[in-house]
Amino acid sequence: MAQRSAFVARERGVGLESGFSRVHRSVATTDQRARSRGYDIAVRHSRRVRFLRRAIPLAALSAVGLVVAITLFNPFASVGGLAFGPVSVSGTRIVMDAPRLRGFQDGSRPYEVTAEEASQDVREPHLVDLRELRARLTIDDAGGTARVEAATGRFDTQSEILELSRDVRVVSSMGYTLDLRSATVDFKGGGVVSKEPVRLLFESGSVEAQSLTIVEGGAVITFEGGVSSVFAARTLGSSTSAGETAAPPGPQN
pLDDT reported for residue 36 = 58
- Per-residue model confidence as pLDDT tens for the chain (253 residues): 444 444 444 444 445 455 445 544 554 455 555 555 655 555 565 555 454 455 444 444 433 434 333 333 344 444 555 666 677 777 788 888 888 878 776 667 788 888 899 888 888 888 889 899 898 888 777 778 888 899 999 988 888 888 999 999 988 888 888 899 999 988 777 788 999 999 989 888 999 999 988 887 667 888 999 999 898 876 445 444 444 444 554 433 3
pLDDT reported for residue 196 = 95
pLDDT reported for residue 202 = 87
Closest CA to 164 of 179, 149, 177, 176: 149
Q: Read out DSSP for the chain?
A: -HHHHHHHHHHHHHHHHHHHHHHHHHHHHHHHHHHHHHHHHHHHHHHHHHHHHHHHHHHHHHHHHHHHHHHHH-GGGGSTTEE-S-EEEETTEEEEES-EEEEEETTTEEEEEEEEEEEEETTSTTEEEEEEEEEEEE-STT--EEEEEEEEEEEETTTTEEEEEEEEEEEETTSEEEEEEEEEEETTTTEEEE-S-EEEEETTEEEEESEEEEEGGGTEEEEESS-EEEE-GGGTTS---TTEEEPPPPPP-
pLDDT reported for residue 172 = 85
pLDDT reported for residue 173 = 86
| Superfamily of domain 78-246 in the CATH hierarchy | Lipopolysaccharide (LPS) transport protein A like domain (2.60.450.10)
pLDDT reported for residue 81 = 59
Q: How far apart are CA 168 and CA 151, in angstroms?
A: 7
| Count of CA atoms in the C-beta half-sphere (13 A) of 248 | 24
Yes or no: say if 196 and 210 are a contact pair by the CB < 8 Å rule. yes
- The ranges assigned to domains in the chain are 1-73, 78-246
pLDDT reported for residue 99 = 83
pLDDT reported for residue 31 = 55
Count Cβ atoms below 10 Å from residue 229 Cβ, excluding itself: 13
pLDDT reported for residue 180 = 92
